[in-house]
Amino acid sequence: MNFPSKILEQAVEEISQLPGIGKRTALRLALHLLNVPKTQTDNLAKSLTHLVHDIKHCKECNNLSDTDICTICANPYRNEKIICVVEDVRDVMAIESTQQFNGKYHVLGGRISPMEGVSASDLCIIPLLNRIKEHKTEEIIFALSATIEGDTTMFYLYKVLNNTEVKFTTIARGIGVGDELEYTDELTLIRSLQNRVPYQQGSQ
């Protein structure tokens, strides 16, 4: 691809680094930004800078937040005795959109996957153990993806937490095996939460 401008070429190169964006799409986006009012492009640039420099991870649950403690953890009306363990922030957003869960969350930041070089030490597990002890958690809901990696992560957490008095449940498998939680429709997700079942070693 021959570019008439080095500045344009650099912009296309950077945009194409985004997931799902190829060079042609990146070029189309770059040319679009040149044709909109400069204030719109400036606002986009400022928003992205603000995003990467100022967003925080909640000190309680590891969710993304504008402050040290996210709005969910800070909400006194949420049931802190029930913690729903998810892989990332997109899963929190998916469950929150159902408006059917009144507990709190814990975001692991991924799932155990030896093939991808992700081990238990790479996940936010120690803070979860501390929360359970501090808040005397009564139930842990495993809401992880219905994949081998998700099951491996659930099994590991179950083994680590099994010496506590916490009740372990997992969302019902109305969610197809191999499906990511974030892509599940709201009705299926609601039913999966409402019909959660006790987690048993090797039952998944």
Percent of the chain at pLDDT > 90 equals 62
Is the domain of 104 the same as that of 189? yes
Is the domain of 12 the same as that of 110? no
Asked if residue 203 belongs to a domain, the reply is: no
Is the domain of 84 the same as that of 39? no
Is the domain of 78 the same as that of 132? yes
CATH number at residue 31: 1.10.8.420
Is the domain of 35 the same as that of 86? no
Residue with more model confidence, 57 or 2: 57
Is the domain of 122 the same as that of 168? yes
Residue-range definition of the domain harbouring residue 43: 6-54
The answer to which of 94-108, 140-154, 188-202 has the lowest mean pLDDT is: 188-202
The answer to which of 12-21, 96-105, 124-133, 142-151 has the lowest mean pLDDT is: 142-151
In this prediction, residues 82-95 reach a mean pLDDT of: 94
Is the domain of 102 the same as that of 178? yes
Is the domain of 78 the same as that of 159? yes
Q: Answer yes or no: is pLDDT of 189 > 80.
A: no
Q: Answer yes or no: is pLDDT of 48 > 60.
A: yes
CA terminus-to-terminus distance, the chain: 49
Domain count, the chain: 2
Assess contact for 169 and 140: CB atoms under 8 A: yes
Is the domain of 38 the same as that of 111? no
Is the domain of 43 the same as that of 79? no
Is the domain of 135 the same as that of 186? yes
pTM value is 0.78
150 token code pair: 């998700």
Q: What are the strands, taking DSSP E only, across 1-143?
A: 56-57, 64-65, 79-86, 103-107, 139-142
What pLDDT, on the 0 to 100 scale, is given for residue 197? 57
CATH number at residue 75: 3.40.1360.10
What pLDDT, on the 0 to 100 scale, is given for residue 40? 95
Q: Answer yes or no: is pLDDT of 180 > 80.
A: no
